[in-house]
Amino acid sequence: MDLPAVGLGTMGIDETDPIARAIELGYRHLDTAQIYENEATVGDAIAASPVARDELTVATKLWIDRLAADDVRPGTEASLDRLGLDAVDLLYVHRPRGDYEPASTLSALDAVADAGLTRAVALSNFEPDQLRTARTHLDAPIAAHQVEFHPYFRQDELLTHAQEHDYPLVAYSPLAGGKVFDDPVLEDIADKYNSSPATVAIAWLCSHDNVVTIPKASSPAHLRANLAATDLTLDEADVARIEGIDERVELYPE
């Protein structure tokens, strides 16, 4: 699926205004999930926007208690009801845990796609072996794979898989929970470009083929700054400096 370089992650956003503001500023990829408990909020923002529905890519994720074969369609329909939509563009398996069983879960998701309730099926938080297994059970190619990815937590094997099979790796938590703001390497590079560490971190992600990202933001300033990262091109030396940061921080371990 062709996704914008920067979309909006909505985890923790429980008011309509920031999402409506993001759409107004030019965000066209909105990412939510059942476990965020804000699908209705996202839906209200979409309904209130003058932007046509077909200009937006809307994604949600089935939680681990909605992955049994008999629960996939009812779970999807419940999400659509909360979103106020006839279909979403991306429907994710949020995590391959709980009721997830590769053959039956993914077959049920293919059926949901065939029924027109989602344009495409996507995966999230899969390990490389789980990803390879999923490919053998899905009728259609993987539309996207969403994982934690930032300067302190690279998942190179997953990135390589996305590049080899030509689908987007959707990087969540690109700012590492705010850690990038105080990183001396990112601060130094930001000074060079008269930018900010957050913008540099997002630009670094976007420098990779097949990577898009969904930073969460609420304020107009942060929403604009995240979008501005698409206008920043880092030189190879700066990309290498960021990739040389010798610190590992995983925010959402399994």
Radius of gyration of the chain (CA): 18
Task: State pLDDT tens for residues 114-165.
Answer: 999 999 999 999 999 999 999 999 998 999 999 999 999 999 999 999 999 9
Residue 217: how many CB atoms within 10 A of its CB?
Answer: 24
* Structural tokens at position 37: 């408990």
Print burial letters for 42-70: b (CB count within 10 Å at least 16), e (below 16). bbbbbeebeeeeeebbbbbbbbbebbbbe
Q: Decide: 110 and 139 in contact? Cβ < 8 Å.
A: yes
Q: Catalytic site residues? A: 36
- Report the pLDDT averaged over residues 168-190: 97
Query: Over the chain, what is the mean pLDDT?
Result: 97
| Residue 208 DSSP label | S
Measured distance CA(108)–CA(233) in Å, rounded: 41
CATH for 8-178+207-219 (3.20.20.100, 3.10.180.10, 3.30.70.1380, 2.40.10.500):
3.20.20.100
Domain boundaries, the chain: 8-178+207-219
Q: How confident is the model at residue 27 (pLDDT cuts 50, 70, 90)?
A: very high
Identity (one letter) of the amino acid at 229?
Answer: A
Farthest-apart Cα atoms in the chain, separation: 55
- Report the pLDDT averaged over residues 3-9: 98
Q: Decide: 127 and 100 in contact? Cβ < 8 Å.
A: no
Q: Decide: 89 and 121 in contact? Cβ < 8 Å.
A: no
Task: State pLDDT tens for residues 209-240.
Answer: 999 999 999 999 999 999 989 999 999 999 99
Q: Strand order of the sheet with strand 29-31?
A: 8-9, 29-31, 57-62, 88-93, 118-124, 145-148, 169-172, 211-213
Q: Decide: 31 and 66 in contact? Cβ < 8 Å.
A: no
